[in-house]
């Protein structure tokens, strides 16, 4: 199979390409990535000389390039997006361009060449679960996004759904919860906190740390995408989440400190994120219909993640500086 991956030098795209080549070594991948601040060009150097891998630096908004690449493939797996909620609060405009118009550009080209489309989306499109409830998002939860990021992702999902209904595009969607693991940018919670602990810095916890997220180790997400690509029903959406359901940030951070052998004195409570959501996902549809379930527990996944960041400090040192510059500007704006 010849596959177009978008955003393959970001966090999940990198993990997915490594996973795919390990399990499908004869497939051919074209990786289209704009190389924004979130990408790391060194992530996939191991495939540079492989005849089955081609990297193309470019923008998913570039209609001519997208048309040319789409004409060569049977499947597109669309990861490319602006992905950070805090950045979307700082400046939403790029989120609309990449996440909405970029997805639309890809959909048009996929339709033209009858290419199977798999859209990578997020549980954030469903909004927020009440802090004291046991509710979970599922495929039938109404969309109710809170941030410019999740609004743009929700819009892209709606375009995929509209192309399925109106034009019979051969497409599927996965709405996944918070991923963690190797190659995640140090602007995101776990890499930021692991690297802060390594550097002896404080851990800035938003609000009281009571918001919760449903954590999924990135390799489990890659397996879920594989299941939907190979066995999923065209036109369907599948929710994907972790084994534990919602975990409060403060509880996750205490687990992290334990894994890294540190006490809680480095925790620092800071201003809350506006419209700070809570997430937990019911993934019984993908389990019952496609036989997928997570393998990693939060304990095994956290240990693997900490080990990777401790052993790969040169990977995050440079990008961390830029990430912390961003946070300095963001907190100055709040004042
Ligand atoms: P990321 O920010 O780490 O990577 C995004 C990648 O897309 C980067 O390599 C970047 O260069 C590329 N990109 C951005 N704009 C582009 C453009 N206009 N044209 C081409 N390439 C472009 O993101 P991630 O965390 O790997 O997320 C990947 C996808 O998964 C996103 O669609 C995101 O919404 C979704 N998702 C992420 C999570 C999570 O926890 N990280 C959870 C659920 C869903
Ligand atoms: O310094 C921090 N302190 C803190 O308390 C950071 C960076 C985050 N947080 C909190 C906010 C959230 O409750 O931790 C939680 C996780 O925050 P992020 O890492 O920014 O992730 P989140 O906003 O949950 O979104 C992530 O998961 C869903 C991805 O960035 C999205 O792309 C994906 O759709």
pLDDT in tens, 247-262: 999 999 999 999 999 9
User: Which pLDDT score, from 0 to 100, does residue 115 have?
Assistant: 98
Average pLDDT of every residue of the chain: 97
Residue 272 within a domain: no
Residue nearest to atom 13 of ligand 2 (CA): 211
Residue 7 within a domain: yes
How many structural domains comprise the chain? 1
- Determine the structural domain holding residue 167 and report its residue range: 2-181+215-243+278-297
Residue 34 within a domain: yes
* Token digits of residue 200: 């002896």
pLDDT in tens, 209-241: 999 999 999 999 999 999 999 999 999 999 999
CA 150 remoteness from chain centre = 12
* Token digits of residue 311: 């052993």
Instruction: Give the span between the Cα atoms of 92 and 85, in whole angstroms.
Output: 9
Residue nearest to atom 19 of ligand 1 (CA): 59
- 14 CA closest ligand 1 atom index: 26
pLDDT in tens, 300-332: 999 999 999 999 999 999 999 999 999 999 888
Residue 63 within a domain: yes
Task: Looking at the CA of 120, name the nearest ligand.
Answer: 1
User: Which pLDDT score, from 0 to 100, does residue 51 have?
Assistant: 98
- 190 CA closest ligand 2 atom index: 19
Instruction: Give the span between the Cα atoms of 56 and 275, in whole angstroms.
Output: 37
Residue nearest to atom 27 of ligand 2 (CA): 178
- 84 CA closest ligand 1 atom index: 2
- Tally of CA atoms within 13 A in the half-sphere of 97 that contains its CB: 8
Instruction: Give the span between the Cα atoms of 261 and 194, in whole angstroms.
Output: 12
Mean of pLDDT values over 19-47: 98
Q: What percent of the chain has pLDDT over 70?
A: 99
Residue 62 within a domain: yes
Residue 259 within a domain: no
Task: Looking at the CA of 174, name the nearest ligand.
Answer: 1
Residue nearest to atom 16 of ligand 2 (CA): 189
Mean of pLDDT values over 110-126: 98
Ligand 2 neighbourhood includes 122 CB (under 6 angstroms) = yes
pLDDT at 335 over 70: no
Of 138-152, 276-290, 320-334, the least confident: 320-334
Instruction: Give the span between the Cα atoms of 153 and 83, in whole angstroms.
Output: 9
What is the Å distance from ligand 1's center to 280 Cα?
21
Could you tell me the CATH number of the domain that includes residue 69? 3.40.50.720
In terms of Cα–Cα distance, which of 283, 285, 322 is closest to 137? Answer: 283
pLDDT in tens, 168-203: 999 999 999 999 999 999 999 999 999 999 999 999
Residue 167 within a domain: yes
């Amino acid at each position: 199979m010849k596959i177009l991956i978008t955003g393959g030098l970001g966090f999940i795209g990198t993990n997915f390409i490594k996973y795919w080549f390990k399990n499908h070594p004869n497939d051919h991948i074209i990786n289209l990535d704009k190389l924004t601040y979130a990408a790391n060009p060194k992530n996939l150097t191991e495939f540079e000389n492989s005849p089955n891998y081609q990297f193309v630096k470019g923008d998913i908004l570039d209609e001519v390039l997208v048309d040319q690449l789409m004409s060569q493939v049977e499947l597109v797996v669309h990861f490319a997006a602006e992905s950070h909620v805090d950045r979307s609060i700082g400046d939403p405009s790029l989120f609309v361009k990449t996440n909405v118009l970029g997805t639309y550009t890809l959909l048009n080209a996929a339709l033209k060449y009858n290419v199977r489309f798999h859209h990578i989306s997020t549980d954030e499109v469903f909004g927020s679960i009440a802090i004291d409830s046991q509710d979970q998002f599922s495929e039938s939860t109404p969309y109710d996004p809170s941030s410019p990021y999740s609004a743009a992702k929700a819009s892209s999902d709606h375009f995929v759904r509209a192309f399925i209904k109106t034009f019979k595009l051969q497409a599927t969607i996965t709405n996944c919860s918070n991923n963690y693991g190797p190659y995640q940018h140090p602007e995101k919670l776990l890499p930021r906190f692991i690297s802060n602990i390594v550097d002896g810095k404080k851990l800035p916890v938003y609000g009281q740390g009571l918001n919760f997220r449903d954590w999924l180790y990135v390799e489990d997400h890659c397996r879920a995408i594989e299941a939907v690509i190979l066995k999923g029903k065209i036109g369907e959406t599948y929710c994907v989440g972790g084994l534990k359901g919602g975990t409060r940030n403060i509880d996750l951070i205490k687990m992290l400190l334990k894994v890294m052998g540190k006490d809680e004195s480095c925790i620092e409570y800071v201003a809350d994120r506006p419209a700070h959501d809570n997430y937990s996902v019911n993934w019984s549809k993908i389990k019952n219909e496609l036989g997928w379930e997570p393998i990693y527990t939060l304990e095994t996944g956290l240990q693997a993640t900490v080990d990777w960041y401790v052993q790969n400090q040169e990977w995050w040192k440079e990008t961390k500086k830029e990430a912390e510059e961003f946070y300095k500007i963001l907190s100055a704006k709040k004042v």
